[in-house]
């Protein structure tokens, strides 16, 4: 079986003297793992860097078998672009383990792929954080942990939604949640409204929500720990290095 696809490099590990085992997030097949026999030669040097977008042809006897990547071409040199900004490179490195943990093998997910594409091609640190927050939020639905945010869990009203309950994952309106505000998350308006230009504080609050529910319903369920690099994500909100430096947040 031969397939043609495109995708972003998530990881590449040396195998033997010349080969690589490469993990890709692809357009049509989701996350896949492939074997590249000459992955470390001079021609391919730099090709399989995390974040790069590749076109590839692959073969495998069966769909569940590891693919052999026998033709690869660079589409977007995103790794090189990251290297011009150390904080962007650090952020990408910090969250790549989440991509590999949250995505299932051989399972197409166009929404997550398109969001990842925006993350890898983002021009600023703030844009990267924005699209990564979208990625984790959409991953909740993908993993069957979706939140119920269309109306207040107590009153049923759709206006004035202001909080999210960590116990139920449901929205709560401001007047109902006010007495318990210190135990509730703020409502994630920017992801619900598909706002592409949120404040750092809004991004921070969404990532607190997604971390909580991913730890509770995915990582704990599978007896896994949240990757340490993801647990340290909050450092990127302390004096962020772009035009919006109006806040300084700590976890």
Mean pLDDT of 114-129: 96
Q: Residue 230 and residue 71: Cα distance in Å, rounded? A: 33
Cα angle for residues 11, 12, 16 (degrees, 5° grid)? 150
What pLDDT score does 70 carry? 83
pLDDT at 251 over 60: no
Cα–Cα distance measured from residue 215 to residue 220, given in angstroms and rounded to the nearest whole number:
6
Which range (1-5, 96-100, 196-200, 246-250) has the least confidence?
246-250
Measured in degrees and rounded to the nearest 5, phi and psi for residue 222 equal -95, 10
The mean pLDDT value for 110-136 works out to: 97
Q: Does pLDDT of 249 surpass 60? A: no
Contact 207, 136 (CB under 8 A): yes
Report the mean per-residue pLDDT for the chain.
91
pLDDT on residue 42:
80
**What is residue 2's predicted lDDT score, i.e. its pLDDT?**
84
The confidence band for 241, taking pLDDT boundaries of 50, 70 and 90, is low
Q: In what order do the strands lie in the sheet with 148-152?
A: 148-152, 170-173, 161-164, 185-186
What's the whole-number mean pLDDT along residues 112-137? 97
**SS3 for 215?**
helix
Distance from C-alpha of 139 to C-alpha of 142, rounded to nearest angstrom: 5
State yes or no: pLDDT of 150 exceeds 90: yes
The CATH fold assigned to 2-80 is: OB fold (Dihydrolipoamide Acetyltransferase, E2P) (2.40.50)
Phi, psi of 117 (to 5 degrees): -60, -40
Residue 17 has a pLDDT of: 86
Question: Residue 212 has what DSSP assignment?
Answer: H
pLDDT for residue 250 is more than 70: no
Q: Is residue 243 scored above 70 in pLDDT?
A: no
Q: What pLDDT does residue 63 have?
A: 59
State what percent of residues in the chain have pLDDT above 70.
Answer: 94
User: Maximum distance among all alpha carbons in the chain?
Assistant: 64
The more confidently predicted of residues 50 and 38 is 50
CA–CA gap between residue 251 and residue 56 (Å, rounded)? 41
CA distance 180 to 50: 43
Mean pLDDT of 142-160: 96
CATH topology of domain 85-237: de novo design (two linked rop proteins) (1.20.1440)
Q: Does the pLDDT of residue 62 top 80, yes or no? A: no
pLDDT at 50: 95
In terms of Cα–Cα distance, which of 117, 52, 51 is closest to 90? 51
**pTM attached to this predicted model:** 0.91
150 close to 171: Cβ distance less than 8 angstroms: yes
pLDDT at 43 over 50: yes
Q: Tell me, what's the pLDDT at 170? A: 97
Domain boundaries, the chain: 2-80, 85-237
At 4-25, the pLDDT tens digits run: 999 999 999 999 888 999 999 9
SS3 at position 192: helix
pLDDT of residue 67: 86
What pLDDT is stored for residue 27 in this prediction?
A: 97
- The answer for residues whose C-beta is within 8 angstroms of residue 136's C-beta and 6 or more apart is 98, 102, 206, 207, 210, 211, 214
């Amino acid at each position: 079986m031969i397939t043609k696809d495109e995708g972003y490099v998530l990881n590449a590990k040396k195998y033997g003297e010349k080969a690589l085992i490469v993990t890709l997030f692809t357009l049509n097949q989701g996350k896949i793992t492939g074997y590249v026999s000459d992955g470390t030669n001079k021609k391919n040097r730099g090709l399989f860097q995390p974040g790069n977008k590749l076109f590839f042809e692959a073969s495998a006897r069966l769909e569940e078998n590891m693919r052999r990547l026998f033709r690869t071409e660079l589409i977007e040199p995103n790794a090189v672009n990251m290297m011009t900004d150390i904080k962007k490179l650090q952020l990408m490195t910090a969250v790549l383990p989440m991509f590999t943990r949250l995505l299932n093998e051989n399972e197409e997910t166009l929404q997550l792929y398109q969001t990842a594409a925006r993350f890898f091609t983002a021009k600023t640190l703030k844009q990267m954080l924005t699209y990564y927050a979208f990625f984790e939020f959409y991953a909740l639905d993908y993993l069957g942990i979706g939140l119920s945010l269309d109306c207040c869990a107590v009153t049923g009203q759709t206006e004035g939604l202001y909080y999210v309950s960590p116990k139920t994952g449901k929205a709560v309106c401001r007047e109902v949640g006010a007495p318990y505000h210190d135990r509730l998350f703020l409502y994630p308006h920017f992801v619900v409204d598909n706002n592409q230009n949120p404040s750092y504080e809004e991004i921070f609050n969404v990532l607190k929500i997604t971390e909580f529910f991913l730890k509770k319903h995915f990582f704990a369920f599978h007896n896994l720990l949240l990757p340490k690099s993801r647990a340290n994500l909050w450092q990127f909100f302390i004096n962020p290095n772009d035009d919006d430096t109006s806040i300084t947040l700590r976890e």
